[in-house]
Amino acid sequence: MELLQIWKDALPVLMVGLKLTIQLTVLAVFFGSIIGLFVGLGKMSRIPLIKIPSVVYVEFFRGSPLLVQIFLIYFGLSQVLGHSVDKFWSSVAVLSLNSGAYCAEIFRAGIQSIERGQMEAARSLGMTHTQAMRYVILPQAFKRVIPPLGNEFIAMLKDTSLVSVIGLVELARSGQLIVSTTYNAFQIWFLVAIFYIVLTVLISEFFVNRMERRLQAGDRS
Amino acid sequence: MIVAKNVHKSFGHLEVLRGIDLHVKEQEVVVIIGPSGSGKSTFLRCLNLLEEPTSGEIIIDGMCLTDKTSDINKIRQNVGMVFQRFNLFPHKTALENITLAPIKVKGLTENEAIAIARDLLGKVGLQDKESSYPDQLSGGQQQRVAIARALAMKPKVMLFDEPTSALDPEMVGEVLAVMKDLARDGMTMVVVTHEMGFAREVGDRVLFIDEGKVIEEGTPEQIFGNPQNERTRSFLNKIL
Ligand SMILES: Nc1ncnc2c1ncn2[C@@H]1O[C@H](COP(=O)(O)OP(=O)(O)OP(=O)(O)O)[C@@H](O)[C@H]1O
Ligand SMILES: [Mg+2]
């Protein structure tokens, strides 16, 4: 069959793009959720020196297009440093920072969704604010943020395609390259779409459903 | 044991407490009654600084809570609190609920804390529930675990904010029984409750609070049998 042949020919190039897409996504979500946890806590801080930068950070990365952020960081860093920066790590940085802003909101909402009585009970036992957060609030909040974090993971997967503008050949860009030489536009883009969909389903299965179930095994409610 | 002097508390423009005085002696059980919104919970929460009084002075076991330099976490260890809605930690078993603070705050070893927790679970009649999670327990059982959790810090004073009013009627008795034992063992207690039977049986003194002020104060016999103030009378008529 002609279609299968076209796909078979495209596969080696697409696989290279796929690998890059997966790397970018995993790294961005990993760093993004760490950034997000601290910035989310920062946004709830009563200390202005912590709170204000956190708020500004989130507003900046949520308020401007990712495309602009990619250019800004890649070309901005090159100019400041006086030499060209690594495209891959520059992309990981900007995607992580972008994801961090969304994760910050997710963590903040998760923490604030925990009933006030939990903090009060912990404090009334003599725990410090930090201890109460660590042993009482955060373990409960983590469970609640898994579904929205899974959605953020999926959104990030698709957003990685934007880093092709600085010349990284991730999944979408690798499809585009093949199309530009073979002109089999529909067949190739269809396959690319399937790749994304499979990844999305895998993420929601493994990182959302499974983790949710595992975390709920020990403790309900 | 507890001294509160002229405690005021406002939320914005709303003045909830308008100068409350309270002296509680060691081993005394004080019951606070009053209409909804009169400031009972707010006052109780001031006694362990879950609310910060706008003015006034609170001294517990010789330590001044309202002094800015005092270590509030240290003081809170001496003041156990039991909430209307239990507030057990849902991600921890009954035993872990009780051992968490002794381990993390007091620095007990896990074994020491578990020994204390098992002993307390026995006291509240739940020795067979140590590995249950809160949502596997009835309301009455949860509240008894919550009492054990507070006791595990070996507090000098216990505060109860309507501990039975979120419970189904058939579970009220088991929680009150635990509180009676506690009073009999000599615990100093301040209890907000409308359980008149409890107040009569174990209360040494009853305070009637309305609109942020102590309107009347006396022994349970005086307050329930022969209230002097008109507002006390009309309140008691409504709830009895
Ligand atoms: N954090 C808060 N912010 C603003 N107002 C509050 C706050 N907490 C309590 N209040 C108000 O203070 C008043 C007294 O509340 P409080 O909970 O102390 O009453 P209560 O006597 O315990 O009533 P109930 O019997 O219903 O529990 C109420 O009008 C309440 O709306
Ligand atoms: Mg109340």
3 state DSSP class of A72: helix
CB contact under 8 A, B88 and A125: no
Ligand 1 centroid from CA B209, angstroms: 13
CB contact under 8 A, A221 and B79: no
Ligand 2 centroid from CA B43, angstroms: 9
Q: How close is the nearest chain B Cα to the Cα of A122, in Å?
A: 8
Chain A interface, best mutation among B86, B91, B154, by max A CB count within 10 A = B91
- pLDDT of res. B123: 95
Q: How close is the nearest chain B Cα to the Cα of A44, in Å?
A: 18
Task: Give the pair of three-digit tokens for residue A218.
Answer: 């020990």
Average of pLDDT values for B26-54? 95
Atom of ligand 1 nearest to the CA of B38: 21
- pLDDT of res. A209: 74
Ligand 1 centroid from CA B17, angstroms: 10
Task: Give the range of the structural domain holding residue B36, as residue numbers without chain letter.
Answer: 2-237
Which residue in B has a C-alpha nearest to residue A116's C-alpha? B87
How far apart (Å, rounded) are the C-alpha atoms in residues B122 and A210? 38
Q: Does residue A207 register a pLDDT over 80?
A: no
* ipTM of the complex model: 0.93
Query: Do B8 and B54 meet the contact criterion of CB atoms below 8 Å apart?
Result: yes
Q: pLDDT tens digits for A162-195?
A: 999 999 999 999 999 999 999 889 999 999 999 9
Average of pLDDT values for B63-75? 88
pLDDT range class, residue A221, cuts 50, 70, 90: very low
Percent of chain B surpassing pLDDT 90 = 91
Q: What are phi and psi of B187, to 5 degrees?
A: -75, 140
Task: Give the pair of three-digit tokens for residue B48.
Answer: 């362990």
Which residue in A has a C-alpha nearest to residue B50's C-alpha? A120
How far lies B238's CA from each of A164, B164, B178, B201, B232, in Å? Answer: 74, 19, 28, 21, 10
Q: Does residue A215 register a pLDDT over 80?
A: no
- pLDDT of res. A56: 97
Beta-bridged to residue B82, according to DSSP, are B160
- pLDDT of res. B68: 84
DSSP-derived secondary structure letter, A64: S
Q: How close is the nearest chain B Cα to the Cα of A99, in Å?
A: 28
Say which CATH number the domain at B177 has: 3.40.50.300
Domain chopping of chain A, boundaries? 2-220
Q: E strand or H helix at A5, and its extent?
A: helix A2-43
Candidates 3.40.718.10, 1.10.3720.10, 3.40.350.10, 3.40.1080.10; CATH matching A2-220: 1.10.3720.10
Q: pLDDT tens digits for B98-111?
A: 999 999 999 999 99
Q: What are the counts of helices (DSSP H) followed by strands (DSSP E) for chain B?
A: 9, 10
How many domains does one find in chain B? 1
CB contact under 8 A, A139 and B87: no
Query: Do B190 and B157 meet the contact criterion of CB atoms below 8 Å apart?
Result: yes
Nearest to B217 by CA among B11, B10, B9, B28: B28
